[in-house]
Amino acid sequence: MKNFFERHRRLISWLVTVPMLVILFRTPINEGSPWSPVMEYGGFALLIVAAIGRIWTSLFICNRKDTELVTDGPFSVCRNPLYLFSFIGAVGLMLAAENPWLAALMVPVFWGYYHFVIRGEERRLAGIFGPAYEAYRKETPRLIPKLSNYRSRESVQVTLPVMNRAILDASVFLVLIVLIELLEEFKLGM
């Protein structure tokens, strides 16, 4: 059974995201800083990594979630790659908006919340998969990837509705690039 944080993950994420976006909108951009382009383009790169990473991860979990213990592909290097890529995207958004303070604030806010989501999922998966999940949990880090663990199947079966949803979810990160640029133009025109 899913805990409160798992059941309301999207709603709570938006409740955190909207105030951060309001802060971004109201914070002036410091175009004169030599770090400005580094933060902006570095943030864009992280947003792209987040989008591609979430699609890649979705390929491996498609049709298998809660019916099979997924331990290959991105799940072989960390147990929560979807959350890892979402975190990368959240930090990328704040950096692309040239706000290092919000990027730094995003770290404890994101992981403070997702800690409870992940713990709930771990309990649920341990209940479903028992000793196999415990062995996987001991071998595979929760969040920080252990690249030497990487192993993959030769192919995966993809269901288009699930994949379409994954692409739509990931495209939010790419749309954010455009929105950051529009926000910057709007702020500079004021």
pLDDT tens across 117-146, in order? Answer: 899 899 999 999 999 999 999 999 999 999
Q: How many helices (H) and strands (E) does the chain have?
A: 8, 0
Distance, in Å, from the CA atom of 181 to the CA atom of 186, rounded to the nearest integer, reads 9
* Location of structure tokens 């410091």: 30
What is the reported pLDDT for 31?
66
Contact 58, 166 (CB under 8 A): yes
CA atoms within 13 A on the CB side of 139: 15
What is the reported pLDDT for 48?
95
Confidence of residue 71 (pLDDT cuts 50, 70, 90): very high
